[in-house]
């Protein structure tokens, strides 16, 4: 996975740097011994691109009513090796407004946008549903983990398991 996703990660690091977003990626180093997984390179890259595009949009918005010192927008991608069964897990985490638990499945319905973000960021509500379909077509899973993840960043946490 790091071979397929590495170039995309480097591209998003540059985009985030230009926009003042702190972006950290771990596990994408060539020496990472992640096992090979059978995937469509194009689908995996497009799914991750959708997730990172969303993360950039939502960490860049200023929540309604926020006063005082603005938070530093942060995104973290973590690639881990699965212990059982073999494979890899990718986490995309941010410190944006997050996805409430009651919306964790609804956000995959094409065209759905949560009430907490409709007025913050423009969008069509298509990206997460498309990303999930692409991952599932590769026999993987894509799920929302509200408030969970290896880095506990207090925003959205999305886990892809391959």
The predicted pLDDT at position 68 comes to 55
Predicted confidence (pLDDT) at residue 75 exceeds the cutoff of 90: yes
Bridge pairing between strands 74-81 and 22-26: parallel
According to the 3-state scheme, what is the secondary structure of the chain?
Answer: CHHHHHHHHHHHHHHHHHHCCEEEEECCCCCCCCCCCCCCHHHHHHHHHHHHHHHHHHHHCCCCCCCCCCCCCEEEEEEEECCCCCCEEEEEEECCCCCCHHHCCHHHCCCCCCCCCCCCCCCCCCHHHHHHHHHHHCCCEEEECCCCCCCCCCCCEEEEEC
The predicted pLDDT at position 29 comes to 83
Please check whether residue 98 is in contact with residue 114, taking contact to mean a CB–CB distance below 8 angstroms: no
The predicted pLDDT at position 36 comes to 78
User: What token pair was written down for 124?
Assistant: 């069509």
Of the listed ranges 34-43, 59-68, 91-100, 139-148, the least confidently predicted one is: 59-68
The predicted pLDDT at position 96 comes to 86
Of the listed ranges 1-5, 31-35, 46-50, the least confidently predicted one is: 31-35
The predicted pLDDT at position 49 comes to 96
Predicted confidence (pLDDT) at residue 51 exceeds the cutoff of 60: yes
Predicted confidence (pLDDT) at residue 67 exceeds the cutoff of 80: no
The predicted pLDDT at position 19 comes to 94
Per-residue pLDDT reduced to its tens digit, 19-44: 999 999 999 887 777 777 888 999 99
96-120 mean pLDDT = 77
Predicted confidence (pLDDT) at residue 108 exceeds the cutoff of 80: yes
116-135 mean pLDDT = 80
40-65 mean pLDDT = 86
């Amino acid at each position: 996975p790091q071979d397929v996703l590495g170039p995309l990660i480097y591209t998003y690091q540059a985009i985030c740097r230009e926009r003042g977003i702190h972006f950290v990626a771990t596990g994408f180093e060539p020496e990472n011994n992640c096992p090979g997984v059978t995937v469509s390179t194009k689908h995996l890259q497009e799914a991750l691109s959708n997730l990172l595009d969303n993360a950039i949009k939502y960490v860049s918005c200023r929540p309604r009513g926020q006063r005082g010192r603005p938070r530093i927008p942060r995104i973290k991608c973590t690639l881990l090796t699965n212990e059982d069964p073999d494979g890899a897990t990718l986490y995309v985490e941010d410190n944006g407004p997050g996805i409430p638990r009651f919306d964790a499945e609804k956000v995959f319905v094409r065209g759905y946008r949560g009430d907490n973000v409709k007025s913050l960021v423009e969008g069509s509500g298509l990206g997460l549903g498309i990303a999930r379909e692409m991952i599932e077509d590769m026999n993987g899973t894509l799920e929302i983990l509200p408030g969970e993840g290896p880095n506990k960043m207090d925003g959205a946490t999305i886990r892809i398991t391959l």
